[in-house]
Amino acid sequence: MNAPLPIRQPCPPGACDCGRERLLAEPGADLRILRLTRQEEKRLLERLECLASLDDLEHMQRRMYEQLGIRLRVAPGHSEVRSMRGISIEIAELPGLCRKTRQAIPAAIRRGLQKQPEIAYRLLDAHDLLRDA
Three-state secondary structure string covering the chain = CCCCCCCCCCCCCCCCCCCHHHHHHCCCCCCHHHHCCHHHHHHHHHHHHCCCCHHHHHHHHHHHHHHHCCCEEEEECCCCCCCHHHEEEEECCCCCCCHHHHHHHHHHHHHHHHHCHHHHHHHHHHCCCCCCC
Specify the pLDDT at position 82: 58
pTM exceeds cut of 0.75:
yes
Domain residue spans in the chain? 41-126
Specify the pLDDT at position 47: 96
> Is the model's pLDDT at 28 over the cut of 80?
yes
Rounded mean pLDDT of the chain?
A: 85
